[in-house]
Structure 1
Amino acid sequence: MHSAFYHLLVIQQQQSNDELALHRAIALAEQYGSRVTVFQSFYKRLQPIHHNSVSADNELAGFIGQFRQDILQRAGRLTAKELQLDVVVSWRESEKHAISQLIEQRDISMVITPQHCKRNLLPLLANSLEHYLISDCELPVWLVKPGQINAEINVLACLDLEDNPGNNSQMNEVILDISGELSHNEQQLHVINCYSAQHCTMSLPYSSQSGFEPLPDIAKQHSDKLQHVTRRCGIPADCLHLQDGLPDDEIPKTVQSLHSQLAIIGNNHMHDISSALLGDTAHYLSQHMPCDVLVIKPTPGFAAAGR
């Protein structure tokens, strides 16, 4: 089992697809024996009528107890297995801060949350919690979209093979590892890499021995890289997709053509202010993809989570 599935934090946001996020977490917990923590914030919505009174404390404790019982009953309807499931209710601090503290205090390895439907042109205009999860949280974040929960998932692993041997290489390996875990057979895993063949130059490469040289074959270079990084996974050639174009355009089109239920992408620009102002691929894809999106980060923090 990949360490990312060790302890799942499921965020409930009182949305229509809350049940789908819980269902997804339960399905993963059944498959990997994961621990599950369900989180719900009632910040600025749950305030005792009379502060520092016994009746108010009892009313608050009753409400929280009933909510926890409802979550346990919902989870019980989704599985017949005995799961390690905990329920955390927060109301004293903001949702984002409470989740950040929870991740620091517990050995959470992955966050699962329903996806907000509202689309924004700039990441900074996105929902505050969603922006935190995609750009600031170091853990993998599974964004659940409305739709069917299937036992078998058709996965599209989205690699970045640009020349960045550090973060990109690490993320590509993690994306492939997690994709392999989630795919029950080789036909359920597809891999895509996008590149741009348009290179503007004012001069041709020149060698003192051979003179002017032809421009490199960009497509072949990326094809060779794609085959190299996926060789250890044994992925069939017809499941490797090399697309000339921007990831923002090509990945959603490939998801639709393959009927993928999950796209796994990396976010290598988590704290980059230029990405926030000019556009961020991870935010854009998370909002424009018709399927679930799992965002992987370039930090190794989750790999060291409890096993």
Structure 2
Amino acid sequence: MNSFNKLLVILDPADEHHKALKRALHMARLNPDCKLTLFLSIYDFSYEMTTMLSSEERDIMRSNLIADRKAWIDDLLSQFDTDNMEIEKEVVWHNRPFEAIIEEVLKNNHELLIKGTQVSPSFQNLLFTPTDWHLLRKAPCAVLLVKEHEWPSHGQIIAAVHTGSEEEHHQKLNKRIIEHAQAMSKTLDASVHLVNAYPSAPVNIAVEIPEFDVTEYSDALEQHHINRMAALGREFGISSHAQHLSQGLPEQVIPDFAKQLDAELVVLGTIGRTGISAALLGNTAEHVLDQINCDVLAIKPEDFKCPLA
């Protein structure tokens, strides 16, 4: 799998550090084939509701605001070295930013969506907005959520896999996660680590079934996960030293290893469910993502169908 070449960069005028733009420019410098589209969705409810303006006058005001924001993007770009980069700018008027972003992805087949995140000043962890969660669940391409820090050479990338499942869609998603992690590692000159969490024995089972050997069960479960991870390591050329397994919940294990390895990037999969299952998925994902202190690259299954398409 090659590096991402078509990047959609979500601009945020409120972000004085312009995290998403800086990350995208960094990637473009490392990959000369990168094409960037800088995207901004704007909306002012008062312009839609005023009775003082005709429909034509409102259209003119919207056009003027869009032109003003494009001029702001030009001023912003002038602060950076963009020589030999292919950069387009898109400003749209839309009252639902995540829908505007997804419509742009579908329209122009962007491969990677890059968006800055908020950061908790007390813990330096990521704080995800409602727009972030909509994009994680519904965007039809990979989503990179960016925190403020550099991506040094010879860094560490985590591929967070789920080796316990026998289901084909989980196994395919594991492979996509690793392939994307390795593609990013080539761009960034970084090392890839596999990380997996496996569950402990149910607490109540030893009470209900006295002859049940919890230790034997846990040992067998751990060995099963070790074997499955080793198989993935062999398939993708990842050494045993870069395979990390721990008993516990993903929302505990993945952030712990991200901190231990001082990872620059965690690559993980999102199924993108809707309805009740989305709430349950969001619960786990929210706990994982909220504690990761580095960038997150969220990968969808190959057969993912965008609910807005």
Q: TM-score range by the shorter chain?
A: 0.7 to 0.9
- Structure 2 distance, partners of 1:34, 1:141, is 16
Deviation, 1:181, is 1.6
- Structure 2 distance, partners of 1:178, 1:171, is 11
Deviation sequence 1:50-109 (CA, Å, 0-9, x none)? 55567983x654543343244245345433432221111122442122122212211111
Structure 2 unpaired stretches of 5+: 122-127
Q: Which residue pairs with 2:237 in the alignment?
A: 234
- Structure 2 distance, partners of 1:55, 1:221, is 63
Q: Which residue pairs with 1:133 in the alignment?
A: 135
Aligned with residue 179 of structure 1, among 178, 181, 192: 181
> Alpha carbon RMSD of aligned pairs, Å?
3.2
- Structure 2 distance, partners of 1:16, 1:260, is 23
Structure 1 unpaired stretches of 5+: 120-125, 206-213, 303-307
Spell out the pairing of 1:109-128 with structure 2 (5 A cutoff).
109-117=111-119, 127-128=129-130
Deviation, 1:299, is 3.5
- Structure 2 distance, partners of 1:284, 1:141, is 18
- Structure 2 distance, partners of 1:158, 1:272, is 25
- Structure 2 distance, partners of 1:298, 1:203, is 41
Q: Which residue pairs with 1:36 in the alignment?
A: 36
Equivalences, count:
287
Deviation, 1:235, is 1.7
- Secondary structure of 2:293 counterpart: coil
Matched, 1:262 2:265: yes
Deviation sequence 1:135-167 (CA, Å, 0-9, x none)? 122321111112334455421111111224322
Contact 2:185–2:191 at 8 Å: present in 1 too?
A: yes
**Quick one: which amino acid aligns to residue 89 of structure 2?**
V
Decide whether aligned partners of structure 1 residues 47 and 30 sit closer, same or farther in structure 2, where only a CA change above 3 A counts: farther
**Quick one: which amino acid aligns to residue 36 of structure 2?**
V
TM-score normalised by length of structure 1? 0.80
Larger relative contact order, structure 1 or 2 (CA cutoff 8 Å, min sep 6): 1
Aligned with residue 217 of structure 1, among 214, 217, 220: 220
- Structure 2 distance, partners of 1:98, 1:14, is 17
Matched, 1:282 2:285: yes
Contact 1:194–1:243 at 8 Å: present in 2 too?
A: yes
- Secondary structure of 1:183 counterpart: helix
Matched, 1:7 2:10: no
TM-score normalised by length of structure 2? 0.79
- Secondary structure of 2:118 counterpart: coil
- Structure 1 distance, partners of 2:25, 2:190, is 24
